[in-house]
Amino acid sequence: MKIFLNGEQKNIEDYHTAESLLRKLGLHDKRVAIEINREIISRSVYSNKIISENDRIEIIKAVGGG
């Protein structure tokens, strides 16, 4: 299945949730924000949010500092 991840076309397995995609990318234990098709996804629904063909996904990592 084709998706666009942070502006780049990627091919992934057909069935993924936002949570399983983060696990596949090694980001499941990181502080991130996910936007799918210009909608910010709440962490509480990561396990239920299904990734679909041609979704445009932005994943932003939180960076601390001062």
Q: Taking residues 4-33, what's their average pLDDT?
A: 94
What is the DSSP code (8-state) at residue 17?
E
Q: Taking residues 22-49, what's their average pLDDT?
A: 95
Task: Give the model's pLDDT for residue 15.
Answer: 83
Question: Where do we find the tokens 């998706």?
Answer: 3
In contact, 55 and 6? CB cutoff 8 Å: no
CA atoms of 31 and 54, how far apart (whole Å): 25
Higher pLDDT, 64 or 59: 59
**pTM tops 0.85, yes or no:** yes
Residue type, 43: R
Helices and strands, counts by H and E, the chain: 1, 7
At residue 56's C-alpha, the angle toward residues 11 and 48, to 5°, is 85
pLDDT band at 62 (very low <50, low <70, confident <90, very high): confident
Statement: residue 13 has pLDDT above 90: no
